[in-house]
Amino acid sequence: MNPLVGTQRTSAAILGAERSNPLRTEHAIDAVDEQLIDLLRANGRASYAELARQVGLSSPAVHERVGKLEAAGVITGYTAVVDPASVGLDVTALVSVIESDAVDDTGVEAAMREVPGIEDCWRVAGSEGYVLKVRVTDIPALEATIGALNRIRGVARTRTTVVLSTKWEGRHG
């Protein structure tokens, strides 16, 4: 059951938008917008005509709605989903980063952004400060990535979990 049917909520409420992002504006999300978001998450290449058939609107109306969702920062982009192994990224790991208590405002995030192989970075609650998804070619490359992370000023240590197999990624896996 879709919790948005019969209600209107804002994009910030639904997506947890940060108030500090000046590019993101409030946008009322209704049930049709939610359907469009779900359809585009499943197939970002769907045509406006195809989307219009599925939500019961005209193509121009869907085009306008999608444009408003993009302008409001609700839809932030479209990507191709690539099989990592087919491009030589055979090792996936989740790396927890424990920050040093002795260093304040160290620029850890900026330094991690420069480390090759890190695909995703989440700020988390708990004993770790960050969890990273790392994809690399092999175990020596993973070892090099972990070494680079441990050399960042403000990183006390890391804890790594190597992924044995991926059952699905994303919501629609």
Which tens digits make up the pLDDT trace of 106-156? Answer: 799 999 999 999 999 999 999 999 999 999 999 999 999 999 999 999 999
Helix, strand, coil % in the chain, rounded to nearest 5 = 35, 20, 45
Q: Does residue 65 contact residue 27 with C-beta atoms inside 8 Å?
A: no
Residues 67 and 107 in one domain: no
Domain containing residue 27 = 9-71
Q: Is the pLDDT confidence value at 20 over 50?
A: no
Percent of the chain past pLDDT 90, that is, above it, reads: 72
Would you state the pLDDT for residue 105? 63
Would you state the pLDDT for residue 3? 38
CA-to-CA distance for 109 and 154, rounded, in angstroms? 10
The number of domains in the chain is 2
Provide the CATH number for the domain around residue 148: 3.30.70.920
Three-state secondary-structure class, residue 16: coil
pLDDT band at 13 (very low <50, low <70, confident <90, very high): very low
pLDDT band at 169 (very low <50, low <70, confident <90, very high): confident
Q: Is the pLDDT confidence value at 8 over 50?
A: no
**In a domain? residue 173:** no
pLDDT band at 28 (very low <50, low <70, confident <90, very high): confident
**In a domain? residue 118:** yes
Structural domain ending residue among the three candidates 71, 101, 123 = 71
Q: What is the CA radius of gyration of the chain?
A: 20
Q: Is the pLDDT confidence value at 2 over 80?
A: no
Residues 65 and 92 in one domain: no
CA-to-CA distance for 161 and 80, rounded, in angstroms? 26
